[in-house]
Structure formats: C-alpha cells, structure tokens
Amino acid sequence: MFESFEPDDRVLHSSGFKQEEVLHNLIHRIAEYEDAIKLKSIDDQLIFTQSTGHNAWLWVSKELEVQQRDDLVRQLAERVKDSGIPGISAEPETAKAFAEAFCAAKGKLHHTYMMLKAYHCLEVRKPGHVSGSLLQAGEAHIPVVAEFTARFVEDAFGTSEQQENFLSYADEAVRAGNLYLWVVDGVPVSMAAIAHRSARHVRINDVYTPRTHRKQGYASAAVAELCQILLDEGLTPVLYADDKNPDSNKVYQTVGFVEAGQIADIKFD
C-alpha cells in the first residue's frame, strides 16, 4: 500500500499533487532530508514526509472520496504509529482524520496549534512612494541578519532569543545568497529570506521589520521586489502565514499574494 520515495520522485510532479503544490510546498523541502520518513501510496494518491523532531506533512489527493481518504489515512497511521511524530500538518480535514487515527492507536490526545494560510504570487503589485531599495545581504550584514532573526522568532513564538544564537544561521543564509534587506540611507530596515527553491516555486519566509521602522511600507516593498526577481526567473513565490496575524496577511495580499488554502498544524499531547 505504501512505499518509500526519493526527492524529485514522480509523485512530486504528478498532476494531482501539482494542483495543490502551493498548499503543500514544504513537502519538497522535507523530502530532501536524508533521514526523513518519505512514504507515498503505490497509486501516487498520498504523500507523507517527516523530519526528526518536526511535524509530519501529509497530502492526500482530492480525487479520492472522503471514505477512501479516511481509509487510506487510517492505514497510514497504523503504518507509522511507532514513529516519533509530534504532530501533523495538512489540509484541515485530512489533518484531523490522521490525528484521530494516530492518537487512537497511541492513546494520545491532540489539539490544533496553528492554522496557516498558504499563498502564491503570480503578479506583483509594488507599493508606491516607499523610500529605499532591495539589497542582497553580504558578509557585513550577518550581525544584523542574526539580530533581525532573533527578534522575528521572539515576535512569532514569544520566546526571548539572543542574537548570538542565530549567527550561524545568518552566516549560512547570507553566503547562500538567500537573504535580502530593504535599505534606507544605508540602514537595513526590513528583511525577507528565500527558504527553499523547488522546480516550480520559491518559498519565502523570515519577513521582519524592527518595531521602530514599521508602518512605513518597508516589508511590503522588500517582499514585492524579491517576488519580482523570482518571477523574472520563471518561478512562483509562495509562503505561509499565521492565520491569526492580520498584519502579515495584509502585507502579502497587498503586494499580490493570493490565498491557496489552509494548513492545520496539529500537535499530539
């Protein structure tokens, strides 16, 4: 019923998955980890991926009837019930079906931790009258990228973080050419990062503006300019946003991102 697969497997290019690829884009990244669990149904109607310590991600084809989906998900839950899976991320009904089956087998409870909106940008709407320009971060920017990342994590998760904890991440991201800064008069005032490139999409994350520079349109301008660069390369920008964060969702919608669906992030207790 299920078999392992490798990155760039045909299932990741199947017509069924491509229809919902924006919503499930993170599956591409997880599939690249050597030690990740990577399973698919033999008919390419389901994909399950999980990297150590993180939520599993699950896609089930919309071509299946609800009962077919639920039966397949129950069989999957039985297959992976002995794996150390802390939660599931999937389209809400699919996530619920897996969580119920998995937790019933394990004697656990579950709760919805977060609802994410998936977006893609097919045409950019650049904000007008925003001072500054987009700059690809260089080695000299590593300390400020680390500081921005620490504050981003603090805002997103409510944890107090030190800049030093993110220096290695900043160094790697900058050297890979994946960090961009919006700069005004030589001062970085906003940040956006490329998280991952797949065959058809580029996922953006870590969009952050320090509190002292907010409400000036800097984040919108940075994301818009980065999206235009990616579209010019023939790739579609995608991202996920917390459904409970109206400010970030507004920024993305303003510059041309269109919602492609929701992902439920469910944790197992």
Question: What is the per-residue pLDDT for 96?
Answer: 97
Place of tokens 């991102």: 257
Per-residue pLDDT of 72-127, as tens digits, reads: 999 999 999 999 899 999 999 999 999 999 999 999 999 999 999 999 999 999 99
Question: What is the per-residue pLDDT for 160?
Answer: 87
Least confident of 80-84, 179-183, 233-237, 264-268: 80-84
Per-residue pLDDT of 155-204, as tens digits, reads: 888 888 899 999 999 999 999 999 999 999 999 999 999 999 999 999 99
Region 136-143: mean pLDDT is 97
Tokens of 69: 């989906």
Per-residue pLDDT of 115-133, as tens digits, reads: 999 999 999 999 999 999 9
Question: What is the per-residue pLDDT for 42?
Answer: 96
Prediction pTM value: 0.93
Tokens of 219: 């984040």
* Whole-angstrom distance, CA of residue 183 vs CA of residue 138: 13
- Residues 208-230 as b/e (b if ≥16 CB within 10 A, e otherwise) read bbbeebeebbbbbbbbbbbbbbb
Question: What is the per-residue pLDDT for 185?
Answer: 97
Region 252-260: mean pLDDT is 97
**How buried is residue 254: exposed, middle or buried, by Cβ count under 10 Å (0-12/13-18/19+)?**
middle
From the list 107, 123, 127, the residue with the least C-alpha distance to 217 is 127
- Name the band, by pLDDT with cuts 50, 70 and 90, for residue 18: very high
- Residues 179-202 as b/e (b if ≥16 CB within 10 A, e otherwise) read bbbbbbeeebbbbbbbbbebeebb
Question: What is the per-residue pLDDT for 157?
Answer: 83
Question: What is the per-residue pLDDT for 158?
Answer: 85
Per-residue pLDDT of 31-58, as tens digits, reads: 999 999 999 999 999 999 999 999 999 9
